[in-house]
Amino acid sequence: MDSQFSAESYATGPPQRLCIHGSALLFGVPQGSVLGPHKDKVLVLGDFNARVGEDYKLWHKVLCRHGLGKENSNGTMLLDLCAKHSLVVTNTVFQQANKYKASWMHPRSKHWHLIDYVLTRQRNIRDIRLTRIMRLTSIWSDHRMVLSTVFLATKPAR
């Protein structure tokens, strides 16, 4: 296992939104500096305002069988980014009830959608134990908190 772990946010400030900057698509960071060294473990967390849908056959290296809803244009851009950088959407990996997948409620239709994601490199997907939505009752928000349990192993210091 690698001894280093990096979970870095390249957001320019709230709210985090997808934007196109040249050929890179992740918070406007130029291509090449997005994911850091290949040996690092990378987690990308955020509200991407994208719906990735359920088409795991088309996006077989990026999505798994347990998506939610329909794909939109931001979702297509996010999936394309994930395919280019060998990332996987961990929210779609685990089979669970829809109430543990949906993270945002549309204000008018009151339908719940999956738009908050945890992304990681495909080679590190075995380190993600669970990604699910926390249903908090103490506060009200149109978003729900995303919980991701990650297994980390480090080498002892010499």
Q: Phi/psi zone of residue 46: left (φ > 0), alpha (ψ -120 to 50 degrees), beta?
A: left
CA 16 distance to own-chain centroid: 12
Contact 115, 104 (CB under 8 A): yes
pTM of the model: 0.72
The more confident residue out of 32 and 153 is 153
- List pLDDT tens digits, range 21-62: 322 344 444 455 556 677 778 888 888 888 898 888 888 889
- List pLDDT tens digits, range 62-95: 998 888 888 899 999 999 989 988 899 999 999 9
Instruction: Map out the domains of the chain as residue ranges.
Output: 5-150
- Cα(138)–Cα(140) distance, rounded to whole angstroms? 7
Task: State how far the alpha carbon of 138 is from the alpha carbons of 34, 89, 106, 131, 141, in Å.
Answer: 36, 28, 20, 21, 10
- List pLDDT tens digits, range 94-152: 999 888 888 887 888 888 888 889 999 999 999 999 999 887 767 777 788 888 899 88
CB count within 10 Å of CB 123 equals: 11
